């Protein structure tokens, strides 16, 4: 049997979280078009007859740190990659030109004296293609796999490659049925992440990264209803008004979308009591 920690790394918005969610067959890491969506390392387990993979989904590495959120996020991936990682998967997006962020991540991966896989993502996107700009990397990796994390194309080959490189070992997580493959986020943190994802999707480019979430309560009110009390935190009154929206429409849309996804995933009814709070110091306390 094989087992070990496998780091998924790359620059922002190359599709790391989407890839992990589709490999596992359910959401463990939130996604959005915004490049700061993943803010902490997410650990989740994949198992089959060959063994156990503990995936570590790391935040993207930013070229320039221009705000406190980016500064804190940039510390997360190096810390995660410094643990006992058995295999590193470096995800690239050849539909985007190589830049300083690619160089920064590649420099980190080069320092890891472990087996490495180059995962060339977004094979479904034919144009534009900057693949020749990345070709030199292939000789630096033990294996190269071309995939589409979005459409789950060739992700089985990626799993095969990981198992080939993983060491023999006992399961890290006790085998057996689990409600979710997610290992290191409790229900409050996961629901908070889901609400943050919906806020990003609905607000799109209107809101900068001055947004966080806190879930204060998750209570089973009866067999058919779970009550969630949550807050969206932002830094100024201007952004608070934007999140609430005209006549409260935006906050209702965000809460409704989060509720529907939770109900679909669990088969239970949810009530989300969602408010918006102005706190200019939330970044210091939550990240």
| Residue 13, marked binder | yes
| Residue 255, marked binder | no
Q: Are 4 and 54 in contact (CB under 8 A)?
A: yes
> H or E stretch including 278?
strand 269-278
Taking the C-alpha atoms of residue 13 and residue 130, their distance in angstroms, rounded to an integer, is: 16
**Shortest CA distance to 194 belongs to which of 209, 174, 215?**
215
| Residue 57, marked binder | yes
**Shortest CA distance to 108 belongs to which of 233, 9, 252, 256?**
9
| Residue 176, marked binder | no
Burial call 6-20: b when 16+ CB within 10 Å, e when fewer:
bbbbbbbbbbbbbbb
| Residue 205, marked binder | no
| Residue 187, marked binder | no
| Residue 188, marked binder | no
Q: Are 38 and 16 in contact (CB under 8 A)?
A: yes
| Residue 11, marked binder | yes
| Residue 251, marked binder | no
What is the 8-class DSSP label of residue 28? S
| Residue 58, marked binder | yes
Q: Secondary structure of 60-118 in the HEC alphabet? A: CCCCCCCCHHHHHHCCHHHHHHCCCEEEEEEEECCCCCCCHHHHHHHHHHHCCCCCEEE
| Residue 61, marked binder | yes
| Residue 248, marked binder | no
Taking the C-alpha atoms of residue 239 and residue 218, their distance in angstroms, rounded to an integer, is: 26
| Residue 121, marked binder | yes
* Distance in Å from the first CA to the final CA of the chain: 37
The annotation places the binding site at 10-17, 57-61, 121-124
Annotated binding site for GTP: 10-17, 57-61, 121-124
């Amino acid at each position: 049997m094989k087992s070990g920690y496998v780091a998924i790394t790359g620059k922002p918005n190359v599709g790391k979280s989407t890839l992990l969610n589709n490999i596992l067959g359910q959401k463990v890491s939130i996604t959005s078009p915004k490049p700061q969506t993943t803010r902490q390392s997410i650990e989740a387990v994949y198992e089959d007859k060959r063994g156990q993979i503990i995936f570590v989904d790391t935040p993207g590495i930013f070229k320039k740190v221009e705000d406190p959120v980016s500064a804190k996020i940039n510390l997360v991936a190096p810390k995660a990659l410094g643990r006992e990682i058995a295999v590193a998967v470096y995800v690239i997006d050849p539909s985007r030109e190589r830049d300083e962020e690619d160089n920064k991540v590649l420099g980190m991966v080069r320092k890891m004296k472990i087996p490495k896989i180059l995962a060339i993502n977004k094979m479904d996107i034919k144009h534009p293609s900057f693949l020749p700009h990345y070709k030199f990397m292939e000789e630096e990796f033990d294996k190269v796999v071309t995939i589409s994390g979005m459409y789950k194309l060739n992700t089985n080959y990626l799993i095969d490659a990981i198992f080939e490189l993983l060491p023999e070992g006992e399961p890290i997580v006790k085998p057996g049925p689990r409600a979710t493959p997610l290992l290191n986020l409790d229900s409050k943190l996961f629901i908070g992440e889901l609400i943050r994802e919906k806020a990003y999707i609905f607000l799109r480019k209107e809101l900068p990264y001055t947004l966080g979430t806190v879930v204060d309560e998750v209570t089973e009110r009866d067999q058919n209803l779970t009550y969630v009390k949550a807050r969206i935190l932002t830094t100024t009154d201007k952004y608070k008004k934007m999140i609430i929206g005209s006549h409260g429409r935006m906050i209702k849309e965000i809460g409704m979308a989060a509720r529907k996804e939770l109900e679909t995933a669990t088969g239970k009814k949810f009530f989300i009591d969602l408010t918006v709070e102005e706190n200019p110091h939330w970044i210091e306390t939550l990240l």
